[in-house]
Amino acid sequence: LRLETDALQALQGNEFSLVYQPVLDLLSPGGCPPVAVEALLRWCHDGEPVSPVSFIPVLEESGEIIPVGYWVLEQACQQTVHWQNNGAPHLRCSVNLSGLQLREADFSLRVREILDLTGLPSTSLVLEITESLLVDAEGHSVSSLRELAAMGVRIALDDFGTGFCSLGYLNRFPIHIIKLDRSFLVEAHDNPTQQAICRAIISLSATLGLDVVAEGIETLEQVDFLLAENCRFGQGFLLSHPLSVADMNLMLSR
Ligand code: G
Ligand code: G
Ligand code: MN
Ligand code: NA
């Protein structure tokens, strides 16, 4: 309960911040700037970090995820424009959405305004949604997705393979990127079934013309496996932890 009332004041109190996890081209992990960064929300409350796993549901429950979500979008777009103007002209920015945000009547319009305000090209923005969001999507959310895609915004399906999304959804909705859930990769080295699932998702994506980003890469063996399977993009602690703006600046200046 305490968390709830405090979350309402956190936005005004500047208690939120973003960290950015690089998405790298596995063919040249150290050799070129990240292809994208995923913005991840952090809340430092009374000097203590609170995990998004516990506070995002609270923000969703109270509806506060709407204003916080717009803050995240604006902040991430503004920061990405800065990086684009300072040595990483092709950097994309990936932002996680919760289902409530897509249900907002004027969501795509607000995204358009944020892009115009910050100057981020629409094609540089990736919005990450989950399978459950698609399964529950009613008409309006689907129109929002189509409007965003028509603007040039790219849509990524996050944690792919863990939800209840049938493969038919990949055709029915405007999806451009699949983010392969890290659970498959964790067991890929000694579990032939998980390995086969990874392989199938990667090859299906290629057939459908979708990019795949492997999540949660923690070992070199996983990188080798992914490259052998023609999965070109990845993120994970091995490549880089989520970074503060200052640490991202350092990474980009190398
Ligand atoms: O950053 P971390 O791995 O702790 O994130 C935990 C969860 O919180 C992930 O599922 C991630 O997608 C989610 N998350 C992080 N930042 C945001 C955000 O800005 N908006 C939403 N809706 N979810 C987020
Ligand atoms: O659900 P989503 O994919 O948005 O979650 C992103 C979360 O995954 C972030 O909170 C980030 O900290 C976490 N993460 C990123 N890379 C790794 C990794 O290599 N291993 C693990 N265990 N978590 C990771
Ligand atoms: Mn994500
Ligand atoms: Na994910």
Condensed to tens digits (0 to 9), the pLDDT of residues 12-23 reads: 788 999 999 999
- ipTM of this complex: 0.97
For a mutational test of ligand 2's pocket, the pick from 18, 19, 20, 21, i.e. the residue with the most ligand atoms closer than 8 A to its C-beta, is 21
Domain of residue 243: give its range. Answer: 2-253
**What is the C-alpha separation between 72 and 67, in angstroms, rounded?**
9
* 40 touches ligand 2 (CB under 6 Å): yes
* 53 touches ligand 1 (CB under 6 Å): yes
The yes-or-no verdict on residue 5 having pLDDT over 70 is: no
Q: What is the pTM of this model?
A: 0.95
Residue 190 is given by DSSP the state T
* 40 touches ligand 1 (CB under 6 Å): yes
* 237 touches ligand 2 (CB under 6 Å): yes
From the CA of 106, how far away is ligand 2's center (Å)?
30
Number of domains in the chain: 1
Looking at the CA of 180, name the nearest ligand.
4
**79-100 pLDDT tens trace:** 999 999 999 999 999 999 999 9
* 52 touches ligand 1 (CB under 6 Å): yes
From the CA of 51, how far away is ligand 1's center (Å)?
9
Q: What local confidence, expressed as pLDDT, does residue 13 receive?
A: 82
State the CATH number of the domain containing residue 70: 3.20.20.450
Name which residue sits closest to atom 21 of ligand 2, judged by CA. 216
Q: What is the mean pLDDT of the chain?
A: 92
From the CA of 230, how far away is ligand 3's center (Å)?
21
> Three-class SS of residue 176?
coil
**Which ligand 1 atom minimizes the distance to the CA of 97?**
22
**What is the C-alpha separation between 248 and 19, in angstroms, rounded?**
9
Burial pattern 189-220, b for ≥16 Cβ within 10 A else e, equals eeeeebbebbbebbeebeeeebbbbbbbbeee
Give Cα separations from 233 to 26, 178, 209, 222 (angstroms). 6, 10, 14, 12
**Which ligand 2 atom minimizes the distance to the CA of 130?**
1
**What is the C-alpha separation between 4 and 151, in angstroms, rounded?**
35
